[in-house]
Each structure stands twice: as C-alpha cells, then as structure tokens.
Amino acid sequence: PEPPRNSDPADPGPGAPGGLFAWLRGRCLGRGAAVDPARDTFGAMTGLYGAIQPADSVSLSTRTHGAVFNLEYSPDGSVLTVACEQTEVLLFDPISSKHIKTLSEAHEDCVNNIRFLDNRLFATCSDDTTIALWDLRKLNTKVCTLHGHTSWVKNIEYDTNTRLLVTSGFDGNVIIWDTNRCTEDGCPHKKFFHTRFLMRMRLTPDCSKMLISTSSGYLLILHDLDLNKSLEVGSYPILRARRTTSSSDITSSGSSGHRAVGSPCHQNNSGPHSEKTLSRPSQREGGSPRNSLEVLTPEVPGERDRGNCITSLQLHPKGWATLLRCSSNTDDQEWTCVYEFQEGAPVRPVSPRCSLRLTHCIEEANVGRGYIKELCFSPDGRMISSPHGFGIRLLGFDAHCSELVDCLPREASPLREIRSLYSHNDVVLTTKFSPTHCQIASGCLSGRVSLYQPKF
C-alpha cells in the first residue's frame, strides 16, 4: 500500500522531487551507504552508557610493568590486552575481569601499541624498534619479530583487504609489512612514506586514506591510498598546504626527528636533519592521483598564533571525521578536537580544497604534562572517551548523543560532557571502548587498569 501522505497540498510526497528521498539523501550528507540504517538501536546503547559505573578495577603493581600506554580489545571482545611501560603485555578476560596471561618479556623496552589482525593474531610494537606478532593459541613464543625501524615504533595499523601491516615510528618512517608471506624470520617489508616529527599514523576504516600527525602541528593526508604502489622520492602530488608559513618539516627522504614530548618513553635525541621543501604547485586539477598528499595545520582553539603538537589521532568508525588531542608547544593548554571530512572537488578549479573542518572541541584538564593521552570513539561513533586527569570523560556531539551527521554545527561547537568517571589515583593515559559490550577500559600512569560498565 501507498504510504500515507500529508494533507498539506505543498507536501510533494515521499516519491516526488524534494520529498522523503531527497530528505534522506540530504541526511546522508553525501556519504551514501556509510550511514547505518539501524542507527536507532545505537540510541539504546548510548542510554546504557548513561548508567555506566566503575564495575571492577584491577590494581597492578608498578614494580613489574609500570605505566599503561595502550589498551586493545580483540574484535570479538573476548580478550583485553594491555601494553605496559616495562616490556610486558597483559591479557584479561574483560567479562569476568580475570587475568589470563602475562607476556613478561614481550619486548626489550616499552610496549607502545597493540593491534589485532583477527580474533587470534595480534601485533605489538615497542621502543626496542621491533614489532612482534602473537597468536592467542600459543602465547609462549612469538610468531615472529619484525625488524625495519631504526627508532621507537609507536603505532600499528592493519589493512584487512590486502592483509598488509602498517607501522610508524619516531624514525619518521611508515613501513608496510606483507603478512601474507610471513615466516619465523619476519615479513617482506618496504618503506612507504617518511616525514619529520611523526607522532601517529592511522588508516580510515575503508583504507582509502592515511592520516599522519606530527609534533610540529601538521596533519598529513594521503588520499586515494594504494599501499601496494612503490613510491619514489618526491612522487607525492601535493594537494594543499594550509595555514603554514614554512613547509620545511615535510620530506619524502632523509633522516627524521621530532619535538621531545617529555615522557621518558617519548623522547628522542636526534642530530641534524636533511630537509626538502614542498615547492610544487597543487596538482588537484580534475581527479586526484593515487597517494596524493595534503598538508594541513588544523585549527585549534586558543592556538591561532602559537604552534601545537598533535599527540593523539583517531578515526571515526564510519570514516566521517578525525579526532585529535592537541597540546600547545608550551604544554599549558590541551584540547580534544573533532574535524569532519569534507569530500569532493574544490569550489573553484584553481582553489585547492581543505579536507577537514573543525566541528567540535573541548578544553582538557592539563594534567600529566608531557605524557600522551590516547582517546577513542565508541563503536557506533556517537561518543568519545577521553582521559581527563585521574579519570575519563564521556563526550557527545550534543546532549542526546546524536550521530555526527545529524548535529553538524555551522561553526565549531563545544563537545558535551555526558558523564565523568574517576577510579584512578594517577593520570589516565589511555582509554578504550569494547567493540561488542557496553564496557570501557582505562589505564593510568601507575599501572592500574579499570573497567566500567552499567549498573542498575
């Protein structure tokens, strides 16, 4: 049967131009199938987050493993892994809060990041310059150890389509590892990209873009990403260098360095560096070529006339936005900012586009200066969990935890605090949502891991 129509004669009806379908098309904001049709079920989840409480805490001795730098759930939510300062990786059952296993000598230095490739395989990276692959079914020994970086390795990404592992480190290198041909001696690898002051690297969920943040305030975006393409020096078509007075930090070749961040696990004493300025004009005529490079200095509140350091970088689970944690060069201010991706060609052919627009932000408690705080999106993308002093804050785009596409402001608006949770006695450095359960984990500088879930 035909759907009922409004009695208003001006209503064109759902099938007419400008009717229901036009409204739905506008609601998607050009993102097409990326909008989840079951979005209303997420409202129930965000309602559960409103009742969340510290459910259980595991107090861990700092004498053995030190600070918690990263938390990662397995894709099915059955295992919570913890990357620790003193060479260890801890594994927990997040439902029962039981300790499963300690990998006491997972690396020879700080363990910085953990990434699951599937429900059983995961990778860890360390300040010892290596990456290790592990199998949950056989944790007594590593699957293999990967050598290729020359400085501290800080983060890991994984392309599930090509089964390529992507790592970045303070040597400024982004390296691609072919896990399809992995042996006990390692995996074939190649250097994919290089930049000075590299802090974090992320892939969008569809692996169409690579984002790289730097301690000098730049955000680099590689568009139309092709990880299999062999890139030569100077082969990155430049799309945009926005709000920058000098581009001498960005290079496709040579040594690397970065501004020291203060923590013993985030310092680097580098020597002189070779530089290569981005002097070529924009090549954004028509469609962009593969691996086109866009260079941005994202707008940060209160930092218009001062430099900033982008310490944490995360992607919206549907690829709509990027989430940054920024601190001033003097470490006296700290901000969490959300930037929407603006797709499509520039307004005028001669005008280069800017891919990001600041939509939401909030000032953070400037506690634990010099330490990097890793924040995250909820699995549905409606909420943000952010380290805040000795606890975490749950933030929403509005008071109703609406989806970003439903509450995009005309100008940058403040993120709304939904709930604050405090159960630590030291500065929280990392937080993570479970991908399958209404649960949040947080880890702090003194080594305590806390779990939060609803209580009624």
Angle at Cα 353 formed by Cα 348 and Cα 357, nearest 5°?
130
User: Which residue has better confidence, 343 or 29?
Assistant: 343
Confidence of residue 320 (pLDDT cuts 50, 70, 90): very high
pLDDT on residue 456: 62
Mean pLDDT of 396-407: 89
Average pLDDT taken over every residue of the chain: 77
Question: Per-residue pLDDT tens for 182-223?
Answer: 777 778 899 999 998 999 999 999 999 999 999 888 999 998
pTM metric for this prediction: 0.78
Confidence of residue 160 (pLDDT cuts 50, 70, 90): confident
Mean pLDDT of 303-312: 71
pLDDT on residue 2: 47
Confidence of residue 243 (pLDDT cuts 50, 70, 90): very low
Name all domains of the chain by residue range, CATH numbers in brackets.
54-229+291-454 (2.130.10.10)
Mean pLDDT of 333-362: 76
pLDDT on residue 345: 53
Residue 130 has pLDDT above 50, yes or no: yes
How many other CB atoms are there within 10 angstroms of residue 20's CB atom? 14
Mean pLDDT of 148-162: 93
